[in-house]
Structure 1
Amino acid sequence: MSPITARDLDARLAPLRAIGFDARRGTNRLAWTPEDAAAGAWFEEQAAACGLEAWRDAAGNRWATPRGTDGPWWAVGSHTDSVRDGGAFDGALGVAAAFAIAAVAPDDRPLAVISFEDEEGARFNTPTFGSRALTGALADGVLDRADDDGTTLAEAMRAAGVDPAGLPRATDNLDKLRGFYELHIDQSTDLAERGAPYGVVSSLAARLRVRATLRGVADHAGTTPMEGRQDALLAAARLIVAANEQAAGEMRATVGRILVEPNALTAIAAGTTAWLDARSPDSAVLDAWLARVTAAAPGADLAIESRSPAVTFDDGLRALLRGAGAPEVVCWAGHDAGLLAPHVPAAMVLVRNATGISHSPVEHVELEDAAAGATAILEALSA
């Protein structure tokens, strides 16, 4: 059994990296777009080269599966969509590595490759859409969410050739999986600080996403006295400060998106909507944080949009991956493998990132490190 090589990964990644890439802005390959369709064509080419059959499920997830069988299979994969102005490796590296692994897997261990649709959720605020659909964990009303141009998710799916009416059938394919491995760029410096080319994820931190709506009264910025104002943006600023100050203990809290109405230089804000992201290895810490933020911002309407519990990956798979002495780490980001873990044996390998930067055009990993991590997955699958 030959190890995965950096040259093989580079050859597989090169055509995918070019899709949606701009030297100034980085990678823009959002879900349900022409760039996403081009990534799908790349996926089909890779599948054909590996002798696998490519198809798409009811949620738009792309599968490459052994011909003549209906599973269950062991699968390896990640996603090919990006955030806005993102990097070349997040998600894409995992799918390219999955094909490299499938190409040399033993004949008695045929593998499937999966590229989950819309993992980033950048266009419709629908993170891990495809894996949530596969596991029956989608939020109600998700098809009605609209992008910045007013296009709904249902409309975008239909335009991409996926019938949104069939979305409930996405769970039909879950029993085709015996287990799942995902390789991903480390989005921290944990592995770099340990001097390890790759590491095994012990668990994913719990995540909480909250939408905050604040109302004010639009008025003239020049003529309205300070004491008579009802400024929704000022209230949002206090909420953001509270979210940060109340993030005590082992947790992280961020407000990374905010909308303002009417968003005019000479007008007091009549309304703001902000999205809060909070994470901790302990879900109870997040609940306590949200209670403190609610008390500190009594005028805010806080609604939980999504909640993901902490996830511990399969002990047996982790033991196989640690065989070569790889360290274990806790991952603070969300991943498709975390959605699958409560349903099938699942594991994750992170690849060293010297800067820890991700979701950025300067995101980078050394492909020699990625090849070592992919080889660890191949050996675990062959054990």
Structure 2
Amino acid sequence: MHGLRLSHLDPAAAGALRVISYFDRLVENHSDADSLTRATALLAECPAGTADHRHAADHRYDPDARALPPGEAVPTSSRAVVVDGRTVGEVWLERTGCAWSLDGLVLERLALAASLAFERSGPLANPVPSPQWGDPALVQAALSARASEAERSRALHLLGLHPDEPLRAVAVVAPDAAVMRRTLGSCARALSAAHPRLGRPAPFGALWTTVGAILLPAAADARAGDPVLPEGATAGLPEGVAVGTGPSGTAAQLPDSWAQARRAARFAGLGPTWPRAVDATGLGTLALLADIPRDAALAHPDTAALATLGSEDLATLDAVCRTASVRAAAQLLYLHHSSVAQRVTRIERSLGFRVSGPHGRQRAQTALLLRQLNAPGTSPLGPPSF
């Protein structure tokens, strides 16, 4: 059965019947979503994907049946998966160039087969609240400091949230507008899956071309600094995506949560020690560095001196700042300690101060962080754009 390929079929009735038969066999064999996706990619000869919103489970395969990162998907055609009249997922193809004549039928049969597979998987013991695409104007009204209490309350009601329950804002920044909506959906599903007991959807909307927001119902007993995204939840996100989460609070505090979430997103993925999802409550006093005006930060002599260093020296300086000695930095860089010592001497001449002691390392590390936060090309996000 898996030897069938769309390129070998004519688009007329005979080809269509063979596609239908192909999926009928998969259904008869009680194929799960993962198997259906793999078989569809083989048939369609292009990447295919399946998303189960209820279980926050995505599957994606290339034409050679190799698993692909779900978060990097850029669908060219898609269909909703419906169970009992509710949209519970999505299936898609990622075709390079023009669509093939049988693509529509393939997606139709895959969506039908996936709905049966989802039904067999059964409901969750603690159902995951489905994230939902919200009207960007409503999301913005909920987050805006200029909105009145009545306007914010109305926006939250229309988005399916209660204004009197704890909420937190999540900022999601993508490197490419083409993946913005899918990236937001993936993050919202991960957040909903991490907190199924909340029982509320996590509405999301794109507020700028590459910046979006998620409104997350927050557990009243959540501790400050607790991770909002579960460990590994951002592993499938496209390269360069950053997530910042603000503190939980009342509806009136949402604008402040949004401001802190955007600030936290600027720290996400800055370097090897920074995760791709940063919680504002865990930044502490480091958050104040993001409030320094960009021009002032880059004009400081320590930060300006870093612009004279090459990428090799910058990597060496970062390693020295993160370790207790030149030997430890050498191990981190897989270099001989004498080579690192020579680089450090050269770096110190450029900076005008020693970095071998605790004070010098702290000073250099602060300059590095200011540069990463503000200089173009030093962060996955570039300089702040929101």
TM-score, normalised to structure 1's length? 0.24
**Max radius of gyration: which structure?**
2
Larger relative helix fraction: 2
Larger relative strand fraction: 1
TM-score, normalised to structure 2's length? 0.24
Q: Which has the higher contact order (CA 8 A, sep 6+)?
A: 1
